[in-house]
């Protein structure tokens, strides 16, 4: 499966798609990126005169790359057999640095397990200066609609 095809299969669209590219992927890990545009809808009012990316959006970006994209890849074609979707079942995050409008982030997820269509991963997010922004664990499940 091509990296670009995985992004196309995601059940998200703008303004709630937080994946620009998949840099590398195999059965054990995924690495992808996203640039938070200056005019993203959530910056208005999050914080006055000093917008930063909300932690829930950083978590969503990490889950879209590290759980949803990775899960589609690991399903090895099953995704195309009917209508599938994904849902995050749990997350635990620690945030180290803010992400500002215009910043690019890189997400790396390492598989803890994938069974019964449930995926659990350790995830990290770095900024363009290769500084750790956030790290944690995400888990989710793929299901037929």
Catalytic residue, from 3, 9, 29, 46: name it: 46
pTM: 0.95
For the chain, the C-alpha Rg in angstroms (whole number) is 15
**22-67 pLDDT, tens digit each:** 999 999 999 999 999 999 999 998 888 899 999 999 999 999 999 9
Number of domains in the chain: 1
Given this model, what pLDDT does residue 96 score? 98
**Alpha helices (H) in the chain, listed in sequence order:** 3-9, 55-63, 70-74
Question: Which of 2-6, 14-18, 24-28, 50-54 is least confident?
Answer: 2-6
Residue 82 confidence (pLDDT) above 80: no
Contact predicate 93/135, CB 8 Å: yes
Residue range 115-140: mean pLDDT, rounded: 97
Q: Which residues span the domain enclosing 131?
A: 3-144
CATH of the domain at 20: 3.10.129.10
Burial 42-73 (b: 16+ CB within 10 A, else e): bbeeeeeeebbbeeebbbbbbbbbbbbbbbbb
Is 29 one of the annotated active-site residues of the chain? Answer: no
Distance in angstroms (rounded) separating the CA atoms of residues 30 and 111: 9
How many Cα atoms are found within 13 Å in the side-chain-facing hemisphere of 105? 30
């Amino acid at each position: 499966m091509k990296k670009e095809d995985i992004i196309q299969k995601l059940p998200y669209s703008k303004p709630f798609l937080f994946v620009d590219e998949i840099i590398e992927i195999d059965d054990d890990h995924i690495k992808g990126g996203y640039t938070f545009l200056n005019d993203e809808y959530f910056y208005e009012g999050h914080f006055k005169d000093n917008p930063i990316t909300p932690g829930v959006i950083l978590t969503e970006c990490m889950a879209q790359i590290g759980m949803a994209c990775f899960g589609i890849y690991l399903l090895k074609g099953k995704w195309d057999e009917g209508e599938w979707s994904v849902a995050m079942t749990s997350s635990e995050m620690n945030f180290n640095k803010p992400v500002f409008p215009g910043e690019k982030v890189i997400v790396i997820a390492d598989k803890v397990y994938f069974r019964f269509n449930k995926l659990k991963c350790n995830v990290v997010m770095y900024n363009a200066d290769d500084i750790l922004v956030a790290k944690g664990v995400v888990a989710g499940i793929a299901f037929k609609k």
